[in-house]
Chains A and B, each alone.
Chain A
Amino acid sequence: MTDDNNPRSQTPASLPLGLARRGFSGTIQHLSAGQAGSALSDIELESRLIELGFVEGARVEILHEGIVGRDPIAVRVDNITVAVRRREAMAIIVA
Chain B
Amino acid sequence: MEAPLLHLALVGTPNSGKTSLFNALTGSRQKVANYPGVTVERKEGFFVTPQGRQVSVVDLPGTYSLRGRSPDEEITRDFVLGKASGETMPDLVLCVADSTNLRLTIRLLLELKRTGRPLVLVLNMFDIATRRGITVDVARLAQELGVPVVTSIAVRKGGTADLLKLTDEISAQVPPQPQENTWRALSVSELRATQREADRIIADNVSLPSRPDTWTARIDSVVLHPVGGLIVLALILFVMFQAVFAWAKPLMEMLSGGFDALGAFVHATLPGGLLQSFLQNGVISGVGSVIVFLPQIIIIFLFILLLEDFGYMARAAFLMDRIMGGAGLHGRAFIPLLSSFACAIPGIMATRVIDNKRDRLTTILIAPLMTCSARIPVYTLIISAFIPDTEVWGFINLQGLVMFGLYAAGIVSALGVSFLIKFFMLRDYAPAPFMLELPDYKMPRPKSIAIGIYTRAKMFLQRAGTTIFSMMVLIWFLASFPQPPAGSTEPAIDFSLAAMIGKWLEPLLAPVGFNWQIAVALIPGMAAREVAVAALGTVYAIEGGKEAAEAIGQVLATKWSLATALSLLAWYIFAPQCASTLAVIKRETGSWTWMAATFTYMLVLAYLASLATYNIAVALGAG
Residue ranges of A at the interface with B (Cβ–Cβ < 8 Å): 38-40, 43-53, 55-56, 63-69, 71-72, 74, 76, 78-85, 87-88
Contacts and interface: CB of A to CB of B under 8 A. Distances in A.
Nearest to B196: A55
Contacts of A46: 188
Contact of A66 (B101, B208, B322): B322
Contacts of B322: 66-69, 71-72
A53 B103 contact: yes
Nearest to A65: B226
Nearest to B69: A44
A79 B129 CA distance: 12
Interface stretch (B89-97, B435-443, B583-591): B435-443
Contact of A84 (B210, B216, B434, B439): B434
Interface residues of B, number: 46
Contacts of A84: 433-435
A82 B224 CA distance: 13
A46 B191 CA distance: 10
16 contacts: A39-B431, A51-B64, A51-B65, A51-B191, A66-B226, A72-B331, A76-B212, A80-B103, A80-B104, A81-B439, A82-B438, A83-B321, A83-B435, A84-B434, A84-B435, A87-B433
Interface in B83-115: 100-101, 103-104, 107
Interface string B379-392: 00000000000000
Q: Which has the most chain B C-beta neighbours within 10 Å: A48, A66, A68, A84?
A: A66
Contact of A50 (B191, B220, B436, B438): B191
A79 B455 CA distance: 34
B212 A72 contact: no
A56 B192 CA distance: 9
B437 A80 contact: yes
A64 B216 CA distance: 13
Interface string B119-159: 00000000000000000000000000000000000000000
B425 interface: no
Given A67-B230, A72-B322, A82-B435, A47 B430 contact: no
Nearest to A56: B192
B435 A52 contact: yes
A45 B432 CA distance: 11
B227 interface: yes
A2 B68 CA distance: 31
Interface in B26-80: 64-65, 67, 69
A56 B189 CA distance: 12
Nearest to A55: B195
A45 B67 CA distance: 13
B278 interface: no
Given A64-B224, A82-B435, 15 more contacts: A53-B103, A64-B220, A66-B226, A68-B322, A72-B318, A72-B331, A79-B100, A80-B103, A82-B436, A83-B314, A83-B437, A83-B438, A84-B433, A84-B435, A88-B434
B319 interface: yes
A67 B226 contact: yes
A66 B433 contact: no
A85 B320 CA distance: 12
A74 B104 contact: no
Interface string B399-439: 00000000000000000000000000000001101111111
Contacts of A81: 216, 220, 437-440
Contact of B220 (A40, A49, A63): A63
Which 8 pairs of residues, A with B, have the shortest CB-CB distance? A68-B322, A51-B64, A67-B226, A64-B224, A81-B438, A39-B430, A83-B318, A83-B436
B237 interface: no
B314 to A, nearest CB: 7
A72 B195 CA distance: 25
Contacts of B430: 39-40
B319 A74 contact: no
Contacts of B104: 51-53, 80
B108 to A, nearest CB: 9
A51 B64 CA distance: 6
B323 interface: yes
A74 B103 CA distance: 18
Contacts of A43: 188
A74 to B, nearest CB: 6
Interface in B329-364: 331
A72 B321 contact: yes
Given A65-B226, A67-B227, A74-B220, A39 B208 contact: no
Contacts of B435: 48-49, 52, 82-85, 88
Interface string B206-224: 0010101000110010001
A79 B101 CA distance: 7
Contact of B433 (A45, A68, A78): A45
A80 B438 CA distance: 8
Contacts of B107: 51
Nearest to B101: A80
A78 B103 contact: yes
Contacts of B438: 74, 81-83
Among A38, A39, A55, which residue has the most Cβ atoms of chain B within 10 A?
A55
A79 B211 CA distance: 9
Contacts of B433: 38-40, 45, 48, 84-85, 87-88
B201 to A, nearest CB: 14
A74 B188 contact: no
Interface in B160-209: 186, 188, 191-192, 195-196, 199, 208
Contact of B192 (A38, A50, A82): A50
Given A51-B64, A64-B224, A66-B319, A85 B191 contact: no
